[in-house]
Amino acid sequence: MPSGHKEVSSWLRQAGKPAWMMGVLNCTPDSFSDGGQFFNVDKAVQHGIQMHKAGASLIDVGGESTRPRAAFISIEEELKRVIPVVQTLVEAGCSVSIDTRKSEVMRQAVEAGACMINDVTALSFDEHSLSTAAKMGVDVCLMHMQGTPKSMQENPCYEDVMQAVIGYFEARIEACLQAGIQQTSIILDPGIGFGKRHQDNLHLIMHIDVLKKYFNLPVLLGVSRKSLIGTITGAVVEDREFETGILNAFGIYLGVDGVRIHNVALQKRANMMAMALSDARYGEE
């Protein structure tokens, strides 16, 4: 389902509207936050529909865990996990993004109705990903990650994490444009927790407006329930929604366009407050 040519990205947050919400749907047995809860197709679909009804703009369906030290799974296994879920959610009226780094999974998911490709490797893992995304004509979310999910937290190091992220995105955006992907189809995710130290994560969140202003592209922030929160507050994974709301609100205030979250109904309230503050600040300017 090609998105067609567009003058301005539809994923840029508009004044008076809250940041769009990407609801996390892990169809995996081992994801860090909810591994195994939605491994069953029927349970996954039911949860996706609930998030859609609660206000999620996208349901982000993933079949391979990208937590630290996660194992690689085959294309066949990933397809078996995600395609029935994508197809059923689309038939139920949900907009779906496919969270994958494999071009064949991208292709089949878009053919099943997915409208966005969300790739933690920014379309670099699979040599066919760029051409597949261009051919399918859907929006793409490019994430920054140092290393791979299996190794990314083994002593990550940066001289300047923001400059590293900016340089990486410059190269990946150019690769997308050369492949035929429209600039207005690109969304950027700085990859909080992906090959980053504690101080790197905080720096990126505190200065996410730098990333936004530099590229003038939609920015997605994914901090929901991440270990950064547990390190600071000691909260267990299942009890990090309060801190997630604070981090998301701070990001939205600084210009973030979308947030990737687990509890859509609860985070929608924090999202609306952040929208009001951001609009009041920038409206005054």
Q: What is the identity of the amino acid at 12?
A: L
Residue 100: predicted pLDDT: 97
pLDDT for residue 140 is more than 90: yes
In which band, very low, low, confident or very high, does the pLDDT at 148 lie, cut at 50, 70 and 90? Answer: low
Residue 155: predicted pLDDT: 67
pLDDT for residue 233 is more than 80: yes
Q: Active-site positions?
A: 226, 260
pTM metric for this prediction: 0.92
Integer Rg of the chain from CA = 17
Domain residue extents for the chain: 20-284
Residue 11: predicted pLDDT: 97
Buried residues in 220-249 as b, exposed as e (16+ CB within 10 A): bbbbbbbbbbeeeeebeeeebbebbbebbb
pLDDT for residue 284 is more than 70: no
C-beta separation of 197 from 203 below 8 A = no
Residue 281: predicted pLDDT: 84
CA 198 to centroid of chain Cα atoms: 19
Residue 63 to residues 69, 115, 247, 267, Cα–Cα distance (Å): 16, 17, 26, 24
Model pLDDT for residues 167-201, shown as the tens digit of each residue: 999 999 999 999 999 999 999 999 999 999 999 99
In which band, very low, low, confident or very high, does the pLDDT at 3 lie, cut at 50, 70 and 90? Answer: very low
pLDDT for residue 7 is more than 80: no
pLDDT for residue 255 is more than 90: yes
> What is the number of alpha carbons within 13 Å of residue 70 lying toward its C-beta?
18
Q: What is the identity of the amino acid at 170?
A: E
Residue 285: predicted pLDDT: 55
Model pLDDT for residues 55-68, shown as the tens digit of each residue: 999 999 999 987 76
Architecture of domain 20-284: Alpha-Beta Barrel (3.20)
In which band, very low, low, confident or very high, does the pLDDT at 71 lie, cut at 50, 70 and 90? Answer: confident
pLDDT for residue 251 is more than 70: yes
In which band, very low, low, confident or very high, does the pLDDT at 113 lie, cut at 50, 70 and 90? Answer: very high
Q: Of all residues in the chain, what percent carry a pLDDT higher than 90?
A: 81
Q: What is the identity of the amino acid at 274?
A: A
In which band, very low, low, confident or very high, does the pLDDT at 223 lie, cut at 50, 70 and 90? Answer: very high
Burial (CB < 10 A; 0-12, 13-18, 19+), residue 34, is middle
66 or 271, greater pLDDT: 271
In which band, very low, low, confident or very high, does the pLDDT at 37 lie, cut at 50, 70 and 90? Answer: low
Angle (deg, nearest 10), helices 241-253 and 198-206: 40
Burial (CB < 10 A; 0-12, 13-18, 19+), residue 155, is exposed
Q: Of all residues in the chain, what percent carry a pLDDT higher than 70?
A: 89
Residue 150: predicted pLDDT: 63
Reduced DSSP (H G I as helix, E B as strand, rest coil) percent helix, strand, coil of the chain, to 5:
45, 15, 40
Q: What would the mean pLDDT of 64-84 be, rounded to a whole number? A: 86
Average pLDDT, the chain: 91
pLDDT for residue 124 is more than 70: yes
